[in-house]
Structure 1
Amino acid sequence: MSVPDPTPPRKRSRLGLFLPFVLAGLVAIAWTAAWFWARGEAQARMDAGVETLRRAGYQVSWKERSVGGYPFRFNITLTEARVREPSGWGLEAPVLEGQARVSSPTSWVIAAPQGATFVRPVGGPVQVTGKVIRASLTHLSETPPRFSFEGVDLAFQPAAGAQPFGLQAAKRVEFHLRGNDELDEGLVSVRVDEGRARLAGLLGRIAGERPVSIVWNTTLTKISAFQGRDWPDAVRRWTGAGGRMNLREAGVTAGEAVLGASSGSLGVGADGRVTGSLDVTLRQAPRALDAMGETGVIAQEQAAAAAAVAEAREGAGEVARAVIYFQAGQTTLGPVALGPAPKVYELR
């Protein structure tokens, strides 16, 4: 009796072998299509935002724009980028780079690898170069959006014909802007570490060869009202809504001279000048006030009188406590008028 031949095994299907590659290819094609669609949306939103700024009186331009970063990021590079707001402040950069993740297209990191130039409405342009010049912009739905700037090993050089700038260099500069929609507040923070003063200016006279440091932390109330067709209009709307700048911490250290403040409330008057008061501590105030008189920042008579007031109020460590008032368009230290109050905007 013969044994029947076994049934030959079926050939294994190769579909299971190639299916993962097919699925991966389909996912890659879908992701690529989605990335290019999202890139187009990002460009369209950017163009719409620029057009909104232009209608508000801003000047925004660039020579070329490129968008890359596939597959997980958006990298936007602008060459010869320029922004100028209606009151005259502006920013220019030969190359401006922005980067955002595809998963978070409203959170941007911005860098100026070849430096930048900020333009003052009175004073002219100042070129800024450094080891690091970068910023971040996030939470665009908040008022205001969250913005941070960081500069490391910066150098400041006024353009030919421009007015001097107080700092020649700084080890580190930081600026932060934060919003709090629940309290309708905005936090503004500025810090300058190991600045080097331009010797021809006031800070140079006070600090000599020693470093200059600056700290300024304030809270702005009624921040949602800070909007308008230009800077003066926005300030007037904010002031009209009862907006105030409440000081949390402030200080300027120039050599041995120190001006510090831990409390105060400031506003803006109808003349565009600061109003309010600051409780301040002054160390070596007579020297600083004398330098202000010698450089013409304050009339010499007023500088001498203010120095006498500060000297009379000095306690231990050559520290004097006083109140600086900004009222009726004037700045006063105690009973002595120092000069006009700082101007926030020009009347038109």
Structure 2
Amino acid sequence: MKRYGVLVLVAALLWGGWWTFQAWTLRSAVEDWFEARRLDGWVAEYDDLSVRGFPSRLDVTLTTPRLMDPDHGTGWAAPFLQILGLTYDRGHVILAFADSQRLTLPSGEVQIASEGLRASLVRDGEMIERLNAEADVLNLTAPGGRVALAGVLANFHHQDGARYQLTLAVRDIATPQGALDSGRSEGLDLQAALTFDTPWTLDALRGPRPQPREIDLAGLAYRQNGLDLNVAGTLTADAQGRADGGLSVRAVNWRALLEQARAAGTLPEALADTLENALTLAAGLSGRQDTLDLPLDFHRGEVSFGIIPLGQAPRLSLP
């Protein structure tokens, strides 16, 4: 028995030493990453860094992390970030986010308020193989408006090469009263295959980031109080992010969607009137005044809705 006791003690000491070494290595890797970002000209700071979880976990907690990439005008800050992992599976980590965060984009600052926001990342070496995210509640406030999401599930899965499968499901959507007729939506579902110019790796945050070259939209479905909007099609993007291709749009009770855009201020009044007249004619030709089936055509960054030119389409590029 004494011999077994000695063996157990030796094993415990060895494992404790191994865990301490792994924790020190992980802490050094995080410190080195932040130092490398500072050498790149970033603002990369945190108030405290800890590694806990003995004996089977390696859980990193960053207190008040702050990142800012001045070259791209992007940044992020939060009260804390936790990166949770197992000692025997270093390729899989869980990210636990604070209830409040601040995201900086070239278009302005986005305030994020959430409940239960977490993500799971699986990697093979430096390659990102799978990224899942979920949130019970996710509220976004940006210069262009506010939106509240509930029951959010997202999945980004590597297929082959630089091609990825993206799925997104949102159980409920709400905007400030007045932006939508009832202020609430019945949900959104999206499925798409995305092809980038290069694969996604852990270094993508540092940049340059992979840029989309093809979006194969299997389906986007949005439902809200009788409005049923479905979009599908394929778009390609050149090196400047200009879109080419086409999307098919089917909208049941389409006037409600037009009124939403008009009330939210995202569609100028004059253009809204022109669209309503033209779309009324187009819907009449299909035999159903409440149902619209029209193509969205993209050519070198210009977009038209059937016979109606809509101007410049948003660039298909990531900052």
Query: TM above 0.5, one fold?
Result: yes
Residue 84 of structure 2 corresponds to 99
Q: C-alpha separation between the residues in 1 aligned to 2:235 and 2:37?
A: 28
Residue 198 of structure 1 corresponds to 176
Q: Within 5 A, what are the aligned runs for 1:102-141?
A: 102-130=87-115, 132-141=116-125
Distance 1:49 1:276, change over 3 A: farther
Give yes or no for contact 2:139–2:146 (8 Å, CA) kept in 1.
no
Q: Within 5 A, what are the aligned runs for 1:1-348?
A: 17-51=1-35, 59-85=43-69, 86-130=71-115, 132-141=116-125, 143-156=127-140, 158=141, 163-167=143-147, 169-181=148-160, 183-199=161-177, 204-205=179-180, 207-222=181-196, 224=198, 234=209, 238=211, 243-262=213-232, 264-269=233-238, 271-293=240-262, 295-311=264-280, 312-313=282-283, 315=287, 318-345=290-317
Q: CA deviation at 1:27?
A: 0.2
Q: C-alpha separation between the residues in 1 aligned to 2:188 and 2:68?
A: 26
Distance 1:232 1:65, change over 3 A: closer
Give yes or no for contact 1:142–1:180 (8 Å, CA) kept in 2.
no
Please, which moves more after superposition, 207-216 or 44-53?
44-53
Please, which moves more after superposition, 54-63 or 276-285?
54-63
Q: C-alpha separation between the residues in 1 aligned to 2:23 and 2:170?
A: 37
Q: CA deviation at 1:135?
A: 0.8
SS of residue matched to 1:24: helix
Q: TM-score, normalised by structure 2?
A: 0.84
Give 1 or 2: higher strand fraction: 2
Q: C-alpha separation between the residues in 2 aligned to 1:57 and 1:136?
A: 29
Give yes or no for contact 1:136–1:149 (8 Å, CA) kept in 2.
yes
Q: C-alpha separation between the residues in 1 aligned to 2:2 and 2:200?
A: 60
Distance 1:233 1:38, change over 3 A: closer
Report sequence identity in percent.
20
Please, which moves more after superposition, 330-339 or 272-281?
272-281
Q: CA deviation at 1:275?
A: 3.1
Give yes or no for contact 2:295–2:305 (8 Å, CA) kept in 1.
yes
Q: CA deviation at 1:338?
A: 2.3
Q: C-alpha separation between the residues in 2 aligned to 1:71 and 1:346?
A: 40
Q: CA deviation at 1:143?
A: 4.1
Q: TM-score, normalised by structure 1?
A: 0.78
Q: CA deviation at 1:323?
A: 0.7
Please, which moves more after superposition, 26-35 or 287-296?
287-296
Q: Write the letter of the residue equivalent to 1:155.
A: N
Q: Give the RMSD, CA atoms, in angstroms.
A: 3.1
SS of residue matched to 2:64: strand
Deviations 1:137-175 (A, max 9, x none): 11243644421111103334x3xxx624341x2221222
Q: Write the letter of the residue equivalent to 1:217.
A: Q
Q: How many residue pairs are counted as aligned between the two chains?
A: 314
Distance 1:42 1:190, change over 3 A: same
